[in-house]
A and B are shown apart, each in its own frame.
Chain A
Amino acid sequence: MGLRTTRIRGLLGRWAATALLGLPALVGCGPAGNVVTELGTTGGTPVEGGTATMALPPASTPNWIFPIGAPGYLATYNSAIQDLLFLRLFTPGQKGDALTMDSPRNLAEMPRYSDHNTTVSITLKKGYAWSDGTPVTTRDVKFWFDLIKDNKREWAGYSPKLMPDDVKEFETVDDRTFRLRLDRAYNPTWFTANELQDFVALPVHAWNPRGESPRRAFARLMRHAKQFSRFATDPLWKTVDGPWRIEKWTTSGQVSLVPNRAYRGPDKPRLDRVVLKPFTTADSEFNVLRAGGVDYGYLPPAVMAQSRQFKERGYRIDPWEGWAVTYIVLNFHHPTVGALLRQDYLRQALQHLIDQKGISRVIWHGSAAPTRGPVPAGLLDDEPYPYDPGRARALLAGHGWAERDGTLRCVRPGPGTDRCGAGVRGGQELRLSLLSQSGSTETSNTMQAVKSDFAKAGIVLDVRQQPLNTVLGTTVPCERTEPLCAQWQLGFFGTQGSWYFPPDPSGEKIFASHAPSNMGSWSDPETDRLIRATEYSAEPAALRDYGRTVARRLPVLWTPNPAYQVSAIRNDLRGVDQNPTLSLAPQNWYYVKKGGAGR
């Protein structure tokens, strides 16, 4: 399994590199093609029809259908379902071995940038229509844009200065073409991947027939969106342009989708029905999976050792790697240890003490892999600070730390190349506290492994575990004088990955100074400059430069990145693409034998 995981990660790396840096796609030159064939994810003689039941993540209830997500309803499963009903103009997709925004599922042709990248023109593809036969036009896109522009605070996807703030004007050219005048020049790759991916066409003729103002229309649509029990029956949600339509949506969260026979795209569904089934816990899903109750489920990492039993029962095991990184957050503003954490040598020593490869192999049973930096691994060198306790001890000793009465203390305080560093007191103990999320055996074991390895260099790590929501609510950006800032030093909330990249994995939301998800308040002019370059310049190497620099600067401590889930898929269910952006494309699924189709 370790080898397979490595192969998958290699594939992801190539996707990232080829898609984002414009390098030629590495079609057919790696082992990935062989791996896919061996696993039987495609091929076989398709049988039309059948029902596929897919297990949703534990305690996940799809509960939002309106493609404009309200705060709190941005869950992956919600957007995955919306994307099957309402087509996005641009969606990340696989082309050969590359991840690209030029997906055949797009509703629009690739955008054209002009006026020194301050104007972007977009043309909708020909022939697309709503399920009631009305053609999809630029009016439908304008409707979406007006809704988010006039109600941006109610839209969960809003970040100040980004969409829609960065669009000065939406200019309709004709029924199929529109133009966006931007507030400045942007990197086209970044703008297409991270800003245009939000664009979706909404049926204005059905949703706003009286031409209400965007505010009134939005309020009315939100009222419908709050009527969860009526999602399957409300006529509003029956007008779709995607490959699927809703057959059933229960209040317990089970969603049945059936093909939209009026769909005009290239990827028409082959199955009769797809059922997305909610589970109370991972254990209940595992019990049902063992009894053969789902066609596409998942295994807890702890039972990876039993994967052979599932293979014998006709399932293939396939880790679903999310496009994510995982890390321990450092609170640079903490009143007592903030000064310590700001020392480069100390962060390097801490990183040298995290055995990412060992943890991935032993604790995660091969379903995790080392995180190398803030962008997908394909853009980075190998781990810049590999596991090396000896090197960590040397770094600490070389900067004025020595053992006194069994405790590692600063014996040479003050700034200077061989001293503890500015703000570190003489005699200060090297003791840190880590607030980690609870509820996962693998995470608990990882934290104990880190604690044990820190101790090898004399560093004391106190690990506290709390539920995820407590950790998320505590490890927030703070100022030194705020009481909350003293409540956490190091934080971990990455059992399912700490950060999922947007299609262009730039860092404006995570490592830029004052970024909303910059939990540790990392602030570095060099990082800010490199992030700005990824957003604004058209320089292809900008993302690689940002990734490599931040990987070495260590604004966080990189830890093994777990798979989104370890999937168990019936062998006769083919065409399942476990996209790293976690989207679903059941229109490509099919059974290859009568037994499967007859379900």
Chain B
Amino acid sequence: MIRFLAKRLTQALVVLLLVSVLVFVLLHLLPGGPARAILGVQATPDAVAHFNHQQGYDRSLPEQYVSYLGRLLTGDLGESYKLNQSVASLLAERLPKTALLAGLALALAAVVAVPLGVLQAVRRGRAADYLLTGVAFLAYATPVFFLGLVLILVFGQQLQLLPAEAPQADTVGGILAQAPALVLPVVTAALGIVAAFSRYLRSAVLDNLAEDYVRTARAKGQSDARIMARHVLRNALIPLATLLGLYLPTLFSGTLVVESMFNYPGMGLLFWNAAQSSDFPVLLGVTLVVGVATVLGSLLADLAYALLDPRIRSVT
């Protein structure tokens, strides 16, 4: 297991390094560069040159990259040009917000999707299955921005049951203290995932129900509920664990639309706004975090797979 872990971590580091090279080069190939975007139309050529010199953009690309990597190793992610904050402090501020939103959305999705998927599988071919399948397809096909808008209009403006805006506190504690304001953004982010997860689980449960071990368990006189809980679900959840790991990076960047609609300044919006203003240090910092999340998600999925399925452990 330790060897497996060490191998995967080494692979992860190589992937991260390659991602950083790729992003660095691509950013610097963008036409225009950041100076005019940051300094505005009134900037003199002298001010532009001064900015480029201060930021080291008048040096060669390899030189700039080595310098960036050197700073990175000391934990210095640089300063945002636009936000008057270090990238590290921006990430420390925004990451927990997005992690909270994404985490709650994933948790909600898992809690709702598991019973739904099981119910659909158990009631396969019956009215409940058709109905829930239809609803799942509808939820999956509904764009997040449209869903969010409908929820805001109905619950925020017509019924006035829930705030149309996400919590505005700066700390996780403060955000959780405004729980009602979290409902609409979390539901908006979770609904599509519920649909996807429930469909996956339905298929996985159906596959497992047809397995020999289920027939054996039944022959041994075990109840349907026990078979489902102790045997079928444990096996059916294995692909879901992989899915959860793979969803992790998607959620970090994918909450952009939810953050944008509900005025919730998280990582997705940080990246989007940095891209609009060519704020290179922030772009690189966020890319690094999403890269780490991708690698970590995939690693966690592998580990979860290995833990849940003894056959994988024995192979590795």
Contact = CB atoms under 8 A, between A and B. Distances in A.
A63 B83 contact: yes
Given A63-B83, A493-B41, A284 B36 contact: no
9 contacts: A64-B84, A72-B82, A228-B83, A228-B84, A251-B85, A280-B265, A291-B156, A469-B277, A498-B41
Q: How many B residues are at the interface, by size bracket?
A: 35 or more
A472 B152 contact: no
Taking chain A's interface residues, is the majority helix, strand, or loop, or is none over half, making it mixed?
loop
Most buried by A among B160, B259, B273, B275: B273
A473 B35 contact: yes
Nearest to A288: B165
Given A284-B261, A287-B149, 8 more contacts: A71-B39, A73-B84, A156-B39, A280-B265, A281-B269, A285-B263, A290-B164, A469-B32
Contacts of B51: 71-72
B260 A280 contact: yes
A474 interface: yes
Interface stretch (B42-50, B130-138, B190-198, B225-233): B42-50
Interface of A: 59, 61, 63-64, 71-74, 153, 156, 158-160, 225-226, 228-229, 250-252, 254, 278-281, 283-285, 287-288, 290-291, 293, 439, 466-474, 476-477, 487, 493, 498-499, 509, 516-517, 519
A200 B288 CA distance: 42
Contacts of A281: 260-261, 263, 269
Interface in B136-181: 149, 152, 156-157, 160, 163-165, 168, 170
Nearest to B51: A71
B252 interface: no
Across the A-B interface, the 7 shortest Cβ-Cβ residue pairs:
A473-B32, A469-B37, A284-B263, A291-B164, A63-B84, A516-B44, A472-B36
Contacts of B265: 252, 278, 280
Contacts of B36: 469, 472-473, 476
B47 A71 contact: yes
B44 A159 contact: yes
A220 B39 CA distance: 23
B125 interface: no
B165 A293 contact: yes
Given A252-B170, A280-B260, A472-B37, A226 B84 contact: yes
B31 A487 contact: yes
A72 B55 CA distance: 13
A519 B32 CA distance: 13
A429 B43 CA distance: 35
A283 B148 CA distance: 11
Contacts of B47: 71, 153, 156, 158, 516
B93 interface: yes
B11 to A, nearest CB: 35
B35 A516 contact: no
A162 to B, nearest CB: 10
Contacts of A469: 32, 34, 36-37, 276-278
A251 B93 contact: yes
Interface of B: 30-47, 50-51, 79, 81-85, 89, 93, 149, 152, 156-157, 160, 163-165, 168, 170, 259-265, 269, 273, 275-278
Nearest to B162: A291
A291 B165 contact: yes
Contacts of A293: 163-165
Contacts of A516: 42-45, 47
Nearest to A251: B93
A291 B84 contact: no
Contacts of A477: 45
A244 B139 CA distance: 49
A287 B39 contact: no
A254 B168 CA distance: 9
Nearest to B90: A251
B39 A290 contact: no
B44 to A, nearest CB: 4
B262 A284 contact: yes
A71 B32 contact: no
B80 to A, nearest CB: 9
B276 A283 contact: no
A280 B31 contact: no
A290 B157 contact: yes
Contacts of B149: 287
A431 to B, nearest CB: 21
Contacts of B273: 59
Contacts of B277: 469
Contact of B263 (A63, A73, A279): A279
A72 B277 CA distance: 11
A284 B157 contact: no
A132 to B, nearest CB: 26
Contacts of A474: 31-32
Contacts of B33: 473
Contacts of B163: 291, 293
A160 B32 contact: no
Given A288-B165, A499-B41, A72 B46 contact: no
A222 to B, nearest CB: 11
A443 B39 CA distance: 23
Most buried by B among A74, A278, A291, A474: A291
B276 A467 contact: yes
